[in-house]
Every structure is written in structure tokens, then in C-alpha cells.
Amino acid sequence: MSVPAPVSASPTPSPSSPRTTGGPPRAAASAVVLVTGFVLLSFNTRVAFGQLGPLAPVAGFGTGTVTLLGLLPPLCMGLFAPLATPVRRRLGEERGLFWASVLLLAGAVVRVLGLPGLFVGTVIVSIATATVNVLVPVFVRSRFEHRRVGVMMGVYALSMGAGSALVAALMVPVWQASGHSWQAAMGLAVIPSALAAVAVAPQLRAPAAAVRPGTPPTGPGPQPSGPSVPATTAGRPGGVLRTGLAWSLVAYFGFQTLLFYTTLAWLPAILVDAGVAGTTAGTMQSLFIVGVAVGGFVLPVLAAARADQRPHLVGIVLVCATGYVGLLAAPGSVPALWSLLLGAGLGGGQAVAGVLYVKRGRDHEHVAALSAAAQTGGYLIAATGPLTASVLRTATGTWQAPLLTFLGVLALSLVTSLRAGHDRP
């Protein structure tokens, strides 16, 4: 993949000039630093959330612990996503992402301090991730060329999936090698967290708030393709919620995220109940995350190349439905296939949301407002998923009821997302 050059958001630059001054060598070096920091931050963003699944069947975590740790990330990300908008206005995307990376590192350290630290650290990591989730679509739109938006959103999702898959695959081996210490396994997340914070630090030299609130985008960023929203409401998540577009995005992101985090939390348990060995179930969790990485890269690239994303949304639902039907009908037969399908579908669904914000937003402020509104409402919807699945499993004694519920949520996701999939006044 060629290295995309960072794009200036000032009123007078040429379409391919970076924000830094100087000749081509300096511009190339700036581009490498920008992309490296972006990739390492993305790599680290979901690492903590993929650690619990492989450890839960072997490390003795109780059902209540697994349920609560599955509930906390979407709940906290929903509650704290609105804070990303004032963070962006005060610090800019670059500084906001740097301090979020520092918070991710702090949370990774706290998570190894016993079971209370695991809960507190998960909250800290979730707050940092909420900020990253909202700022990344705006950052990509403002710092990369229009034709690179889909690729960079795909790189974001691919890096997230790769980081989660790598660390998830190491959880059980490290747990075994450390004398069955789950703290040692959780401590692996500190390494990518530290690398991300260091790699993003050079962006502190970038000018803050390159595009002021309420002003239209300048330069070569994606031109407005969404409906016109008055400048007085474009920068406020509450303002955009007066539109059907925003509610469609909330519903789409909420249902997709509910399925993603519930599957992430309970896939190993579903497979173990079907007779799959605990270590194999952990490996299937890693394959699920590999699928997330692949789907998360491919789908944004394909979706960003078209003005209408509805065919991609339909495809996502069909792939996910195939995976859930497989878990219902023959969970122990080809668990690798079901895990990869679910990962690809849910990973693609998560990543395409970022493309929808960029495509439907009329300027940087509107993109930020759509992203914050969708993630606030969406993550609060998603927070109900792990607990609901646990209650259904306990009440019925099997995973059939939760899996059938997942299929119903998929159908709702398809119906409610179609408005967000295309431009319409």
C-alpha cells in the first residue's frame, strides 16, 4: 500500500501538500510519521477488549465477572462519547488522540492490579476508546486525501483487529507460562499501549482545531455528500438528533455494536457448551478477531468507493446471519468457519459506520456530531447485549434463545440502517 500524504486543512494549500513546511523529503517523512502513529494507535484501541474471552474459560472468571466486564466497555463508551466533541474543540483531533493514547496506557497498567483494578482499568480504557472512536473519522477526513478515506478507515479497522487477534492468541500461552497468572496475561496490553502513545506524540506539533466549528471544509478532504444541516446544530450531537439520518446511524451502530460485544464476550462459552475444548474455544476467539480485521479492512474500502452503501449493509447482515445460523445448527462441527464469518461480518459492520459518518457529514463539525451522537446512543444500546444474553442463557439452559435473538437484532439492523446508507435530503 502506498503511503498517503497528510492533507492540509488551511485555506490555501495545494491538494496534496502536507501540513508541515519544507520540501518533498520532509513531507514524505511527515507522512510516514503520521501513518505510523495512526496504525499503532489503531492497533492498540481494541486490545483490552479481546483479552477476556480466551482467558475466561481457563482462568476461572465467574459468569458475573464476565458479564460485567462485557457490559462495561459499551456502557462507558456510550456515556463518555459526548465528551469527545468538547475535547476536539479545545485540543484538536491530534492532541485529543494523543491524550486518549496516554489514557489507554494508564488503563492497561491499572488492569493488572487485581480484580478491582481489572474493573477500574476497563472503565479507563473504555473512556479513552470512546474519544478515539469519535475523533478518528474526523481525523481521517481532515488529514488524508478524499480518495484515501476508505483505505484509511480500513487500515484503522484492520489494525484494531490485528492488535486484538495477536494479543488474544497470546493470552492462554502466557497464562500457562506464568503459572496461571491472569495478571501477567493482561499485562501484555501495556506494550502496544506504550508504543501507541510514543508514536502519536509527534502529532502534538500539528496545529490544533485546523477547521473551526461551523466552517465548511477546505482543501481536498471529502466534499459534503450528506444533507445540509444548519451550522448552529452541526457541531452538537443533540442538534443532529433532530434528523432521521442521525437516528438511523444510532440504530445501525447500536445493533451492530450490541452483536459485536456480545459475541466477543460469549463466543468461547457458546463453543465450550457445544463440546469444544476450552483452549480450542480461545483459538476460535482469535479467529473471530482475525475475521474482524479482514472484514474491517475490506468493507470500508468497498463502501467508500460508492455513493450508496445500502448493498454493503445488506451483505453484512447476510454474512453475520450465516455465522449465527451455523452456531445454532452445528456449533461444534466447523467452529472456525462460523467464527471467521461472524468476525468478518461484524468487523465490517463496525468499520463501515466510520465511512457512513464521513459520507453523510457535510463538514468536519457535522461528521464529529454524527459520530458522537451515533456512538453515544449506539453504545448504550450495545451495553444491554452481554447481560441480556447471559439472562437468556441462564433462563433457558442453552444458547439457542440468545442466538435466535441475535438473528432478530440483525433484521432490525437492516431495516433501520437503510436511511444512513445513502444520500437523501
Q: Going residue by residue through the chain (425 aa), what tens digit of pLDDT does each one get?
A: 444 444 434 343 333 334 444 456 676 777 888 888 899 998 888 888 878 878 887 878 887 888 888 788 888 988 998 888 888 888 888 899 999 999 999 999 999 999 999 999 999 999 999 999 888 888 888 888 877 888 888 888 888 878 887 888 888 899 999 988 999 999 999 999 999 999 999 888 865 444 333 334 433 343 333 333 344 444 455 577 788 888 999 999 999 989 998 998 889 889 999 988 877 888 898 889 889 888 988 998 898 888 889 999 999 999 999 999 999 999 988 999 999 999 999 999 988 988 898 888 888 788 888 888 888 888 889 888 888 998 999 999 999 999 999 999 999 999 998 888 887 65
Place of cell 460508492: 306
Domain that holds residue 317: 30-209+233-421
Quote the Cα angle for 324-129-376, to 5°: 75
From the CA atom positions of the chain, what is the Rg in Å?
20
- HSE (side-chain half, CA atoms, 13 Å) at 310: 10
* H, E, C per residue of the chain: CCCCCECCCCCCCCCCCCCCCCCHHHHHHHHHHHHHHHHHHHHHHCCHHHCHHHHHHHHCCCHHHHHHHHHHHHHHHHHHHHHHHHHHHHHHHHHHHHHHHHHHHHHHHHCCCHHHHHHHHHHHHHHHHHHHHHHHHHHHHHHECHHHHHHHHHHHHHHHHHHHHHHHHHHHHHHHHCCCCHHHHHHHHHHHHHHHHHHHHHHHHCCCCCCCCCCCCCCCCCCCCCCCCCHHHHCCHHHHCCCHHHHHHHHHHHHHHHHHHHHHHHHHHHHHHCCCCHHHHHHHHHHHHHHHHHHHHHHHHHHHCCCCCHHHHHHHHHHHHHHHHHHHHCCCCCHHHHHHHHHHHHHHHHHHHHHHHHHHCCCHHHHHHHHHHHHHHHHHHHCHHHHHHHHHHHHHCCCHHHHHHHHHHHHHHHHHHHHHHCCCC
The CATH number of residue 259's host domain is 1.20.1250.20
In this structure, is residue 413 part of a structural domain?
yes
The whole-number pLDDT of residue 11 equals 41
Q: Is there a contact between 324 and 93 (Cβ–Cβ < 8 Å)?
A: no
Nearest CA to 104 among 194, 171, 202, 204? 194
Distance CA 268, CA 327 (A): 12
7: which 3 cell numbers? 492533507
Distance CA 66, CA 68 (A): 6
In this structure, is residue 3 part of a structural domain?
no
Q: Is there a contact between 130 and 81 (Cβ–Cβ < 8 Å)?
A: yes
Bridge partner residues of 6 (DSSP)? 144
Nearest CA to 132 among 173, 94, 169? 94
Q: What are the Cα distances from residue 380, in Å, to 31, 79, 384?
A: 36, 7, 7
The whole-number pLDDT of residue 112 equals 93
The whole-number pLDDT of residue 252 equals 92
**Could you give phi then psi for residue 87, rounded to 5 degrees?**
-60, -45
In this structure, is residue 21 part of a structural domain?
no
The whole-number pLDDT of residue 395 equals 93
In this structure, is residue 389 part of a structural domain?
yes
The whole-number pLDDT of residue 24 equals 65
**Could you give phi then psi for residue 230, rounded to 5 degrees?**
-55, 145
The whole-number pLDDT of residue 214 equals 37
Nearest CA to 248 among 226, 233, 264, 232? 226
The whole-number pLDDT of residue 412 equals 92
In this structure, is residue 258 part of a structural domain?
yes
Distance CA 336, CA 346 (A): 15
Question: Assign residue 10 a region: left if phi > 0, alpha if psi is -120 to 50, beta otherwise?
Answer: beta
Q: Which amino acid is at 231?
A: A
Place of cell 497470546: 170
pTM value?
A: 0.72
In this structure, is residue 293 part of a structural domain?
yes
State how many domains the chain has: 1
In this structure, is residue 195 part of a structural domain?
yes
Place of cell 488503563: 107
Q: For the purposes of burial, counting CB atoms within 10 Å of the CB of 392, is it exposed (0-12), middle (13-18) or buried (19 or more)?
A: middle
In this structure, is residue 45 part of a structural domain?
yes
* Contact residues for 168 (Cβ-Cβ < 8 A; gap 6+): 50, 51, 53, 54, 282, 285, 286, 289
Distance CA 68, CA 202 (A): 36
